[in-house]
Amino acid sequence: MAIYDYSSVPPPSQQPQVAQAAVETEAWTVSALQSLKISPSARVTGASLSIPLDSDGTPKLPAYKPRKEPLKRDSQKRREAVLKGKEGSRRRQRWENDRLLHVPNAQPPLPSDWEVRPTHPVHTVPYYLAPLWDAGIRHRAEEIAEEKKRSVSKRAGVEEQKGRVPQELRQKMKKSKGAKSLLQELEEEVRAFVKEFERRERERDGKEEIEMDSEDEEIVFVGRNGVMSDEQRKTVEEELEREKMIFDALEGDKGASFGRWLVHSIAAYYGLSSRSITVGNPRRREAYVGIREMKAGRRLSDVHGELPRPLWGMI
């Protein structure tokens, strides 16, 4: 860039003549051009200004901003101080005791203290005691199940005590006088079933005693396909019937539920087991009574001896 220096050119003299003004201006211009000096580089006349076009115009935030102190009335230090309490106070003593600060024998928790362990006591049973342990657990489970069954029967109004008239049965029979004949019919069937079972059991016991007295060996002939002989099949057919249907009615019959409830009450009075099932088409509800079996000893319940007084005669 060329810079022209007009300082060396004297200004034209001011003349009042208008005609000579143009000539003098032209002459001054020529003389000014002749006296011009062109310098190769420009002189620094001021500070340089650079405007980057690709830079981000957003100002940068400072790297660290000092954290503002919280209010003194609600600070973590104040909370900890309030939690600890003043020196020598009961609160400070409790705080130190909770953290075992002044206990010389205090030990930090070990890694084993963080292991996941069962909350119940674990019993290590030797191998040779396992059958006895299983028998004890089974016996305890049967006792719990029997207790639950008694509680359910008690809530339903059926007492599980032989020879005792349920209180709810007595109250319902007082309200419904016509149900006494139904109770008598059902009870007579149950008593006949128990007597027949006792008779057959006595006959079977007598036969077993006779067979034990004889010294002859019993020979059982089995066919090629494993089919038993006629005598053994007859023995299986003569197996005691330990269950009998006492009452049945249609499933939708509303009054039949009272009859089934009477069957369960009678079974509880005589110490028998009872159940209700739905069979057939159309659907029918049947109530059965049976001889109770002892699961632990695999023996039948005691049905020998005199039967209790008829239930229908005591209400």
Q: What is the pLDDT of residues 278-292, one digit of tens each?
A: 888 888 888 888 887
Percent over 90 (pLDDT), the chain: 13
Residue 290 lies in a domain: yes
Q: Please report, as a single letter, which amino acid is at residue 125.
A: V
pLDDT bin (cut points 50, 70, 90) of residue 127 is: confident
pLDDT at 144: 92
| Whether residue 311 has pLDDT greater than 80 | no
Residue 88: left (phi > 0), alpha (psi -120 to 50), or beta?
Answer: left
Distance of CA 119 to the CA centre of its chain: 17
pLDDT bin (cut points 50, 70, 90) of residue 298 is: very low
pLDDT at 296: 47
Q: Which residues contact 139 (CB under 8 A, 6 or more apart)?
A: 296
Q: DSSP of 176-233, one letter per residue?
A: -TTHHHHHHHHHHHHHHHHHHHHHHHHHHHHHHHHHHH--PPP---B-TTSPBPHHHH
Whole-angstrom Cα distance, residue 291 to residue 302? 9
Residue 174 lies in a domain: yes
Residue 270 lies in a domain: yes
The closest of 286, 213, 230 to 253, measured between CA atoms, is 286
Mean pLDDT, rounded, for 194-208: 81
pLDDT at 64: 76
Residue 23 lies in a domain: no
Mean pLDDT, rounded, for 184-191: 88
Question: How many angstroms separate the first and last alpha carbons of the chain?
Answer: 137
Specify whether the CB–CB gap between 174 and 251 falls below 8 A: no
| Whether residue 69 has pLDDT greater than 80 | no
E strand or H helix at 160, and its extent?
A: none
| More confident position, 83 or 308 | 83
| Whether residue 304 has pLDDT greater than 50 | yes
What are 274's strand-pairing partners?
Answer: 289
pLDDT at 120: 93
| Whether residue 88 has pLDDT greater than 80 | yes
| Whether residue 196 has pLDDT greater than 90 | no
Residue 12 lies in a domain: no
| Whether residue 126 has pLDDT greater than 90 | no
Predicted structure pTM score: 0.42
| More confident position, 93 or 308 | 93
| Whether residue 84 has pLDDT greater than 60 | yes
Domain count, the chain: 1
Q: Which residues contact 281 (CB under 8 A, 6 or more apart)?
A: none
pLDDT bin (cut points 50, 70, 90) of residue 27 is: confident
| Whether residue 100 has pLDDT greater than 70 | yes
Residue 253 lies in a domain: yes
Over the stretch 102-115, which tens digit does the pLDDT of each residue have? 889 998 889 999 99
Burial per residue of 42-72, b for 16 or more beta-carbon CB atoms within 10 angstroms, e otherwise:
eeeeeeeeeeeeeeeeeeeeeeeeeeeeeee
- The owner of tokens 């489970």 is 141
Which range of residues forms the domain containing residue 281?
131-207+242-300
Residue 112 lies in a domain: no
Residue 81 lies in a domain: no
